[in-house]
Each structure stands twice: as structure tokens, then as C-alpha cells.
Structure 1
Amino acid sequence: MKLDYRLTVLVGLGFMTVSAFWSLYDFVIPMIMLKAFGFGDTMAGVVMSLDNVLALFMLPLFGMLSDNTNTRIGRRMPYILGGTVMAVVSMLIIPYAVIANKQGLFIGALALALLSMSFYRSPAVALMPDVTPKPLRSKGNAVINLMGAVGGIMVLGMVALLAPDKDNINYWPLFLGTAFVMVVGVIILKLTVDEPGEVIRMRHNSAALGIDVKEAEHDDTLVTHEKLPKEYKKSLGFILLSVALWYMGYNAVTTAFSKYAMVSLDMKESQSASILMVASIAAIISFIPVGILSSQIGRKKMIIVGVVVLATVFATSAFYTGFNPMLFVSFALAGIAWAAINVNSLPMVLEMSKGANIGRYTGYYYTASMAAQVITPIVSGALLEHLGYHTLMPYGALFVGLAFLTMMRVRHGDSKPIIGTSRLEIFDVAD
């Protein structure tokens, strides 16, 4: 059985729009707070954690709501379309508020944009496993993450070309460009993907191969509240704890890197954006190979390799005292490592789900990641403000390193082999 790459790429357009927004948010919002409104690092950390506070409650909620939604256009599509419209309208108020120096309007528009993104993030991610059989979800997630990286790199490219200089606070071009990417991506998704039809096709293909046969039957036969066995619950808990830990480290670095580069390394915004763009390019190149390799050696092993490499990159990056070309190499390795982690972590969680509760388990995954991202901007921001910017990279290395210990306790979540119709088919991995 082979992954339908065309369908997966089109489904990935939803996640591409999500990643485009977050790339803009992570890079530009800290600079706006510093340059336009003079926020301190601790206060900026509090603001940057607002999206994660919302996500703690909203992502599981909308994941479960979409599980139980039944419309002519599908379970996930209404949330993707509605959330995108709300997000684009609200985010375009932000650059106006900055230029008009209206801090209250800036915070209000930002909160509305974050709420809108929470509305459709879980449904956008859940659409891939909805249309992809379980054994192929690491490969599918590789494609989805590749599409997310494409969205991120488009925005970082715009930042490198259009970012205002040190004293300029006109961010209109960046917000308009990002809004364009989001609108076009979702329109193409809606016009090319028949969600209900693709879900039915996936269930019948799975049944033909002896995978989740019950999911090929009618929706009303599916059980959405089955309890996991104790040993599976333990593995799920350690997976989610691992997710929280590596996001504690990774999010701290990516959120504060633009300020870190300017203050500690005396770099321009365009230079720091280029370094992050290299990390995204490296991730894009590695997503598909990582997905294929994961299906052969296992998801857990790939995650552990990624965790070790990412922690090492953050630890060694602490020794840079100014701009150094080796930063591009370090962050390229970080991009590859993050790909190895991201491609496999969500599929490990979803491996324990049923077709009817994919949205809920997607919500569990994002609850873990967002809980970490509620805490880490505040804690790391306080360290930056009170101890110095030299704490950022060791902080990232510490928490990513702790994830190594928790992942070693995970015993379930690797993909099960596909039952082929012949011995030769079992070895058909060259998609």
C-alpha cells in the first residue's frame, strides 16, 4: 500500500496556512512589542503565551467538536474555512494598531487572531489521519510537516525581504503577504479535496488490508469513548510528557531568537530570519526521507535521534558570541532534528486512537505542546530579562535533553506492519 502523495499534499495546505501564521507571529510579534510598545521581556513572554493559554482549552474542544460534526462538506472543512476567514480579518487589524499606536487595539486584535487559529488548528491537522491509513501516517505526517515548513519558509522569506529597519514599525507588507498565503491555500484545499469521499475511501482500503476493519463500517458503529489499557495509557502519558519537554526547549529558542540575535549576536532582523529560514529549508529536504526511514526503523528511534541532535545543537550554539557562518550549519541540523521529532510524535499518539476520535487525540497532543508553550515564554523571558540573553540556548538544551529520558519509557505507538496481499507487497516501501 502506497501513500497518496497528491492527496496528502493538498490536505497539507491547511497546515501550511497554520504554519504561515505562526511563523509571522513568532518572528514579528516580539519585535512589535519591543519596537512599537516597549514591552519588557517578561511582559512580552506573558503576551506570547496567550495563544498557548487559549490552546489548552480550545484545541481539545474543537478537536472533539469536529469529531462529532457531520456536514455535506465533511467534519473538518467547516472549521478550516471559518477559522481562516476569522484569522485573516483579525490579523490585518494588527499592523493598523501598531502604526496608530493603539496598544489596546493591538492586544484585542491579537487575541481575536489567536482565538481564530485555535478554532481550526486541530481540525486542519486531524484531516490527514482521517484520510490516511495508520501504517502510513508517519509518511503522511512527513508530507504535512513539509507543507507546514513551506508555509513557514514563505513567511520567513518575506521577512528577509520586507522586514522594516530598526526604527521602522510598518509591518503591513508582511501581514498582507501572510494573509494572501492563507487565503489562497485554503481555497485550493476546498476546491481539490472531497473530504467525505476521501474518508470513505481510506476506510475501505484499510479494511481490505486487515487494518481497523471496524472503521470501514458505518460511523455509528465506531466507539469514541473506549478506555485504553493501562500499559497504553502509561506510554501515552510519557509521549505527551516528551512533547511538552521538547516544546519547552524548542519554543523558547524560536520565539526569542529574533531578539537574541539582535541583542547577543548584534545581528540584523534579516540575518536572523535567514538563519531560521535555513533551518526550515533543511527540514523541508529531510521530511520525506525521515518519514520513509521511520517506517523502516521505527518512530521511537527516529525521535530519540532527533532529540539528541537538537539538544546538542542548542548546547553548542551557546558558545557563539557574534554572527558566525557556522550558525547556518547548526540550525540546518536543528531543522533536520526537529523534522525527525515532529514527523513521528503525532502519529505515535494517533496510533492509539480510533477513527471516530482522531480529533480528540490530536487535541491531547496539542494540549501537551501548548501547556509547555504557556510556561516557557514566561520562564525563559524572565531569565532573559533578569539573568541575560546567554541563558536562552542552555535553557533550550536542558528541556530537549530531558525529553530523551521520558521517550526511553515509551513502549507503544510505533506503526504496525502492513499486511500485504503477497510477500513482495510487504517489501514495497519505495513510494
Structure 2
Amino acid sequence: MALVNNGDYQLRLRDVPVGAQMLFVAFGALVLVPLLTGLDPNVALFTAGLGTLIYQVLTKFQIPIFLGSSFAFIAPVMLSVQRHGTAATLGGLASVGIMYVLFALLIKAKGTSFLLRILPHVVTGPVIMVIGLILAPVGVYMAMGKTGDGAKVLYPENQAMIISMISLAVTVLVAIKGRGMLKLIPIVCGIVAGYVVSLVMGIVDFAPVAAAPWFKMPNFVAPEFNFDAIVIILPVAIAPIIEHIGSILAIGSVTGKNYIDKPGVHRSLMGDGVATTLAGFLGGPPLTTYAEVTGAVSLIKIYNPALMTWAAITGIALAFVGKLGALLQTIPAPVMGGIMLLLFGAIMVVGLNSLVQDGQDLMKPRNMVIVALIVVLGMGKMSFNFWGIHLEGIGLAGVAGVVLNLLLPQDRAEA
């Protein structure tokens, strides 16, 4: 018997295990972002669950999508926390959600075509590449047993390399050779393998887990709005906005429905924006639609959006398990470093792939200038200060790409 039966949305108690499975598919990536950026993984679980429920309300319970931590913001969050602290960084992340909402209103008023004119693949592709490339040293340092900035040695290098390479190898093998549900959780498999090796080597300290209570309120943190922190983070949002539209097209191709028109991509982006703003106000990372969960929906061929309701409720419940957060914090840096070697490289490949699929001739002077300057300005540690605005790294790359695309003239065929 369905608790709620609203067309395709049927909330049934018998679907609880299947819905919880969706959270398991998203779990590795969901908690990886807060573990890398210093945010509370329990808060990330809570905001992902609550954010998904908000998303469902704003999309009229029609789209089977789960919202989880966004990888696109790892680099700017790390930089902002280092320079301005956690509270100011959360203010920047809340601003990202507000930006999503504004773009959703523009899409409703003008359609999606204007967005692709402002943010074509020749801009978003290289910006995504910069996100992956700028993070590469962090993964290398952690894989070698150091802190993310390489300033301090945490574990002996030989020991760390064994752990990180096993973690990496298992992730790669599962991603390539895995079958069924296993193929959807290569990150979880890699973390488990690296963690087991760490246990054998005796470098895992369970004292924090023993001291942690079973029930604990997540460590919610209120944001502070700092203009410099916002400028570091906000330009990165241009790429996830385009990716969001791609995610809606992807889940629509799986279910055979046109979600772009009904309930509308503007509603979907609005849901993501409101959820991300709420996450920033509570201390969680920005949210995005999870391709892993879309893959799971394709695999099990159950298109009931209520599965995501159960996944969200499960995430909220787990957020209050104090020992879970403490256990996640015991994962040694080399385990995460091995995963990051692949993860950050994969982000770069996603950006490269968007350029390839778009079919643009990168040797045309206009395209060459845009791509070249985005990558060099983003990776070359160029900084820009004007009227109190400070831009560098990913933020400078994103702003430069948008400005160049608007200013550089197109030839008549492209126009």
C-alpha cells in the first residue's frame, strides 16, 4: 500500500531498502568533499538529504534525482577556508545557491538558449579542466603521506605510497571491470580497500570513534558574508549550471520523459539553488545532481521519484549518528590521496570531453585565445586586483572566459 500515490511518485514502505541503496551509491562521493575540505561529513549528509527533499518539492516530485556534495567547488573551498575561514567560505557557498536561483529565473524568462550563448562549451570546458588541474598537487601530496599543501609529513612516504596505490588500483579496477551495482561505487570500494590496508599497517586510531556518542547533533556552522571569499567561489558556479542542464537531459533519457519542459529545467535549477543556499547556511558543501544515482536508476529501472525521498530520509537519519562521523574522520590521508589522483584527473577529462563533444575547432583564433587564456590564467597563479576585487585561480579563469566570449567577435558562420 502506498503512503502517497501521486502519478509516478509512489511513497511505499516496501521501497525503503531500494531508496537506502541509492544513498549508498552516492555515499562515497557525498562524504568525500567534506573530508577533503574540512567540513563536517554529518552536516553534508543532513544537507544532502534535506536539500533533496526541497528539490523534490520545487520540482513537483517528478524527477528521480538525488542531490549530493559538488566536486566542482573543492579547490575554491580549500583556498577560501585557508584565507578567510570556514564561516566566510560558507557565505560564499550560500551565494552560489542564490546565483543558481537567479539563473533559474532568467531561464524561465528567456529559455535555455541565452545561457548557452553566455556560457558555451568553449568557456565551461577549460574552466572544468582548470578545476581538476589546480587540485592535482593536493592529491599527489596526500598520496605521498603529506598534508594537502605538502608542508607537513603525516606518514612515512613508502607506507603512504603502498596505501594510496592500492586504493587507486581498486578504484580503477572496479570502475573498469565492475558489474551491476558494484560498478556504480568504485570510490567506496577504493576507500574500503585502502582503509583495510591501513588497518593492517596499524595506522588507524579508533580512539575518537570510541569517545564519540551514538547520537550527536551535526556540527552546524552559520555563514558570514565576506566579499573576498565570495569572489573566490562564485565564478566556479558557471560550470555546474551548464552541467545541471546536462544532468536533467541524462535522467530524462533514462526515464523517457522531457523534464526540460515539465516540470521545467528552471524549476530543477531553482531546487538545486535553494538547497545549496540552505546547505551554506547550515555548514554543508554546495549540492549538485549525482550522476552515480542516475546510473543506479538506469540499472535497476525503477523510475519512482519516491526512492530519492527514502534516500534523503536515510541520509538525514545517519547525520545524527555521532560514531559515523568519527569513523569517517579516521580514514588516513593516503587513502583519500589515492582516490584524488583519479578524481581530479577525471574532472579535467570531463572538461576536455565537453570541448571534444561540442565539435569546436580549437585552432580557430577565437577559440584558441579563449581556451589558452582560461587555462594559463587559472594555472599560472596570475592575480588581479581592481577596485577591491581580488581574482585568481579558478575564479579568474571563469571570469576571463565569460568576458572573452562576450567581447571577442565571432565570424559570421558561428554567429
TM-score, shorter chain, exceeding 0.5: no
Q: Which has the higher contact order (CA 8 A, sep 6+)?
A: 2
Structure number having the greater helix percentage = 1
- Structure with bigger strand share is 2
TM-score (normalizing by structure 1): 0.28
